[in-house]
Amino acid sequence: MSSTTGLTIENLSMRFDLPNGGHVQALQGVSLDLKAGELLSVLGPSGCGKTTLLNIVAGFLAQTEGTLMLNGHEINGPDAERGMVFQAGALFEWMSVRDNVSFGPRMAGRKAKDYMGNVDHLLEVVGLQDFKEKMVYELSGGMQQRVALARCLANDPDVILMDEPLGALDALTREKMQSLVLKLWKETGKTIILITHSVEEALLLGERLIVMAPRPGRIHREYRLPFADMGVNADLREVKKHPDYAPTREEILNMIWDMEEEIMGTAGEEA
Amino acid sequence: MDSTVNLLCTRERLGETVTELRATPVPEGQIVGDTFVPAEGCIVATGWETFSYQFGTLGTELWGETKTVFASAASALPSIAIYILVILACMFIYRAVKSGLTKTADYTSLKTVTFGDESAVRSDLPASILSIVLIFIIWGSFTGSALLPGFLHLPAPFVGESSFTYTLEDADGNRDDAEVFIRVIPAGAAASDMVFDPGAGLAKNDGAEIGIYRSDNILWDSNDDVTRRANGARIVAINGAEFDYAFGTDGAGRAPSFNVGFARVAITDRGSINVVPDQGWQMQPLYLPAPEVVWTRFIEIAKYGYQNVYLTVHLGFSLFRVIVGFLLGAAVGIPLGYAMGLSNWFRGWFDPIVEFMRPVPPLALIPLVIIWFGIGEVGKIFLLFLAALWIMAIAARSGVSGVRITKVHAAYSLGASRWQILRHVIIPNSLPEIFTGARVAMGVCWGTVVAAELVAAEEGIGKMITTASKFQNTDIILLGVIIIGLVGFGIDMLMRWAERRLVPWKGKG
């Protein structure tokens, strides 16, 4: 792995003016070095700038300070090299499942015979081989997120940015999808940044985990965790029985709890 | 100096003192407040007087109109109440019958809370059928339609022959009875001579033929031995009912009148007999023709046209205008809406124009369009173009703003170009909004074309109505109204069908 591969974020700040003359410091001095193939999960209370960070990496927002480099070039606007998976509502409901998944290659002007094999393969990987011709609005929420994952992978991006991709799913589906994300991560070797509200999810999926603090948004603490590697092709419930799991979870929960209390002055129910 | 001044004038009218505001031109060379002298009884009104007078009279006038409107509405209340009672009665009967039948047991019918749960309220088909049937029954009973059995008819006007007697008294106190034969004939029937026996005595029998819904003055003494003028003869009783009335005096409103069964008989001031045959409860065909008359007319016009223009031509022209105007409006309005939804500059440029033109009803532009383009096709299509343009522009604009930003972000992240995002994301995503706009626009265009044709056209369904109204062909007016309603309904059904076929993802995003 050469030093030019991977994502480098240096001293990133984001500050914007408000109509009333004030301003918001959404991010301040965020630095991060992500090697190719790493899976980073980002945790933090509401308003800590997680989504702003992701939108800047995706190229939807311009930072006011700092640099972002991906594979040796600066990030400037959205690009197919950085794929996005959103919480919900990002699929094109006027297209079939197959047309959604093949959207990227089609837009790139590639010939159908060149990408259709890969599209079918990805649909099989996410378990939707029998739903290719269905319209996406005919699928359940979990299936729709699997379409979104497949669509992102079909475009073969260098980095996958996930903005609470499993946040809208029920607990059971969510657990299954977490296994799927780990499996896809190992099989494809993609660099992934995953934003989540769930401490459990961040622990289970994040090879690295950063906890962000609000006002101004900044990196509060960083962890390197063994659980993601353990969880590949294994039962995630077994992983949770690891002796380090519960103490780490409690530590992070308390950390975020304290931040939330500081913001709201009351105790939140779930971090 | 060519100018005008408001004068406040006081004058006598019917014994009352009235004050009026009058705008009067100031004669050449005179100056208000200097050489100008207002007319007798007038003073130059101050600004405040002008203002307060206008609002005072406006208030008085509007108050009078309000009273008229509420009085009319109140007079309609009994009929509406009867209508509602009939419908409620039918509802109770239907429900009573239905509760005795086997119940459907689908999910909605098992809901116990239906009052307040809109999803549990379904249009009751029998009620819809009854609603239409009831309209035809009301229509038929008010017109004496042959489609309805007679007992459902409201009392019809009297047609046929009947008679009443009058008692004559001459100046010497001699009395004699005579009969008046009345024959009421249907409208348009040929008049014929009445043959009757004049009888004997001072008074001779009389006869008159009266058209339906008309009345007649019987000059009973024209054939009698004694007359009003020469012998001071007068009528003292009708059908034996005596009365005492001083003829020739100012007794307005006190002249006696009698119900003789088939007619109302009144004695006029001059002593003649006014006969008004019973007009029944039904409406005159001039006001409301019977359903079968309208149907016959429809067949006739469909086959042979009206005023040398076939119905297909009337309808074809109206539809042609609507479709061409709508398509032009959509062809310009949709790109305009997209431009407004996608670019700051275009949003800023067109917002004032669109927001100003949107509340202006196209009907208000008819006079201007006629002045500009004449009464040809160009003007009418321009009008419909304008009607559709703003609606379609606003629909397309809100369609663009309705695109979820995550979809656009996802498309950018998948490497799509701006053009591809417009083509594959924004346009399909805005189609449901555009279809809704198109339905509204078609409705407005259909209404506008009829109104435009009422004002000026050579052919078209609105023109047919105007022509028919000039000849008092109420049946054709009614036919036109029904055709307009059915076609408008058909257009909307067609648009809904197209919507279901073309944008099945509507509301599923």
As for the ipTM of the complex, it is 0.90
Interatomic CA distance for residues B355 and B358, integer angstroms: 5
Q: Residues 6 or more apart from A229 whose CB is under 8 A from it?
A: A207
Nearest to B276, CA basis, from B222, B217, B220, B219: B217
How far does the CA of residue A95 sit from the closest CA of chain B (Å)? Answer: 9
Share of chain B above pLDDT 70, in %: 97
Interatomic CA distance for residues A204 and A179, integer angstroms: 9
What value does the CA radius of gyration of chain A take, rounded to a whole number of Å?
Answer: 19
A93/B411 CB distance under 8 A: no
In this predicted structure, what is the pLDDT of residue B156? Answer: 86
In this predicted structure, what is the pLDDT of residue B1? Answer: 46
Place A1 in a pLDDT band, splitting at 50, 70 and 90: very low
Residues of B in contact with A108 (CB under 8 A): 415
Phi and psi (nearest 5°) for B497?
A: -65, -45
Residues of A in contact with B503 (CB under 8 A): 94
Nearest to A202, CA basis, from A159, A165, A234: A165
Interatomic CA distance for residues A84 and A155, integer angstroms: 11
How far does the CA of residue B412 sit from the closest CA of chain A (Å)? Answer: 6
In this predicted structure, what is the pLDDT of residue B478? Answer: 93
More confident residue, A261 or A77: A77
Q: Residues 6 or more apart from B247 whose CB is under 8 A from it?
A: B228, B234, B269, B270, B271
How far does the CA of residue A110 sit from the closest CA of chain B (Å)? Answer: 12
In this predicted structure, what is the pLDDT of residue A270? Answer: 43
How far does the CA of residue A79 sit from the closest CA of chain B (Å)? Answer: 5
Place B434 in a pLDDT band, splitting at 50, 70 and 90: very high
In this predicted structure, what is the pLDDT of residue B72? Answer: 94
Nearest CA in chain A to B425: A92
Interatomic CA distance for residues B262 and B162, integer angstroms: 7
B contact residues 385-444, partner A, Cβ 8 Å cutoff: 404, 406-407, 409-417, 420, 424-425, 428-429, 431
CB B352 within 8 A of CB B366: no
B410/A84 CB distance under 8 A: yes
In this predicted structure, what is the pLDDT of residue B509? Answer: 67
pLDDT higher than threshold 60 for residue A107: yes
Nearest CA in chain B to A55: B409
pLDDT higher than threshold 80 for residue B114: no
pLDDT higher than threshold 60 for residue B300: yes
Which of A102-116, B217-231, B275-289 is the least confident region? Answer: B217-231
The chain A residues in contact with chain B (CB within 8 A) are: 58-60, 78-80, 82-84, 86-94, 103-104, 107-108, 135, 137, 148, 151-152, 155, 157, 161
Place A2 in a pLDDT band, splitting at 50, 70 and 90: very low
Residues of B in contact with A109 (CB under 8 A): none
Residues of A in contact with B504 (CB under 8 A): 135
Interatomic CA distance for residues B393 and A40, integer angstroms: 46
The mean per-residue pLDDT over the stretch A185-202 comes to 88
The mean per-residue pLDDT over the stretch A206-227 comes to 85
A82/B413 CB distance under 8 A: yes
pLDDT higher than threshold 50 for residue A267: no
Count of pairs with CB atoms under 8 A, one residue in A, one in B: 77
Cα torsion at B317, B318, B323, B324 (round to 10°)?
50
Q: Residues 6 or more apart from B240 whose CB is under 8 A from it?
A: B165, B167
Q: Residues 6 or more apart from A12 whose CB is under 8 A from it?
A: A27, A29, A30, A31, A53, A56, A63, A65, A66, A67, A68
In this predicted structure, what is the pLDDT of residue B386? Answer: 92
Residues of B in contact with A195 (CB under 8 A): none
In this predicted structure, what is the pLDDT of residue B254? Answer: 65
| pLDDT tens-place string over residues B200-243 | 788 888 888 888 888 888 888 888 878 877 777 888 888 888 88
At A269, the amino acid letter reads E
Residues of A in contact with B419 (CB under 8 A): none
- Starting at the edge strand found earlier in the chain, the sheet holding B216-218 runs B216-218, B273-277, B263-267, B257-259
Place B124 in a pLDDT band, splitting at 50, 70 and 90: confident
In the structure encoding, which two tokens stand for residue B496, read together? Answer: 């809904």
Phi and psi (nearest 5°) for B311?
A: -60, -40
| pLDDT tens-place string over residues B132-163 | 999 999 999 998 888 888 888 888 888 888 98
How far does the CA of residue B336 sit from the closest CA of chain A (Å)? Answer: 23
In this predicted structure, what is the pLDDT of residue B270? Answer: 77
In this predicted structure, what is the pLDDT of residue B390? Answer: 93
How far does the CA of residue B322 sit from the closest CA of chain A (Å)? Answer: 30
> Which residues, listed in sequence order, are joined to residue B237 by a DSSP beta bridge?
B167, B242
* B3-8 long-range Cβ contacts below 8 angstroms, 24+ apart: B3/B32, B5/B32, B5/B36, B5/B38, B5/B44, B6/B44, B6/B45, B6/B49, B6/B50, B7/B38, B7/B39, B7/B42, B7/B43, B7/B44, B7/B45, B8/B42, B8/B43, B8/B44, B8/B45, B8/B49, B8/B53
Residues of B in contact with A79 (CB under 8 A): 413, 415
| pLDDT tens-place string over residues A134-152 | 898 888 888 898 899 899 9
How far does the CA of residue A267 sit from the closest CA of chain B (Å)? Answer: 32
The mean per-residue pLDDT over the stretch B454-466 comes to 87
In this predicted structure, what is the pLDDT of residue B435? Answer: 93
| pLDDT tens-place string over residues B7-48 | 888 888 777 888 888 888 888 888 877 788 888 888 888 888
Residue boundaries of the structural domains of chain B: 3-71, 160-277, 292-502
| B500–chain A Cβ distance below 8 A for any pair | no
Nearest to B456, CA basis, from B395, B394, B392, B367: B367
Burial zone of B121 (CB within 10 Å; 0-12 exposed, 13-18 middle, 19+ buried): exposed
How far does the CA of residue A192 sit from the closest CA of chain B (Å)? Answer: 14
Nearest CA in chain A to B508: A137
Place B251 in a pLDDT band, splitting at 50, 70 and 90: low
What is the rounded average pLDDT for all residues in chain B?
Answer: 87
Residues of A in contact with B425 (CB under 8 A): 92
A104/B409 CB distance under 8 A: no
How far does the CA of residue B395 sit from the closest CA of chain A (Å)? Answer: 19
Consecutive H or E run containing A13: strand A7-17
Share of chain B above pLDDT 90, in %: 37
In this predicted structure, what is the pLDDT of residue A222? Answer: 86
Burial zone of B438 (CB within 10 Å; 0-12 exposed, 13-18 middle, 19+ buried): buried
A90/B425 CB distance under 8 A: no
What is the rounded average pLDDT for all residues in chain A?
Answer: 85
Nearest CA in chain A to B406: A90
Q: Among B408, B412, B413, B422, pick the best mutation site for testing chain A contact (most A Cβ within 10 A).
A: B413
Nearest CA in chain B to A149: B410
The mean per-residue pLDDT over the stretch A72-85 comes to 87
Q: Across chain B, which distance is largest between two alpha carbons, in Å?
A: 118
A135/B404 CB distance under 8 A: no
| Beta pairing, strands B241-242 & B257-259 | unpaired
The gap from C-alpha B416 to its chain's centroid, in whole angstroms, comes to 56
- Starting at the edge strand found earlier in the chain, the sheet holding A159-163 runs A82-85, A159-163, A191-195, A39-43, A208-213, A218-224
The CATH fold assigned to B292-502 is MetI-like fold (1.10.3720)
Cα torsion at B154, B158, B159, B161 (round to 10°)?
150
In this predicted structure, what is the pLDDT of residue A271? Answer: 40
A58/B417 CB distance under 8 A: no
- Starting at the edge strand found earlier in the chain, the sheet holding B175-185 runs B206-211, B175-185, B160-169, B234-238, B241-242
CB A10 within 8 A of CB A31: yes
Q: Residues 6 or more apart from B345 whose CB is under 8 A from it?
A: none
| Continuous H helices in B186-310 | 228-231, 291-304
Nearest to A184, CA basis, from A199, A203, A205, A202: A205
The mean per-residue pLDDT over the stretch B285-302 comes to 91
The mean per-residue pLDDT over the stretch A240-246 comes to 82
Phi and psi (nearest 5°) for B206?
A: -125, 165
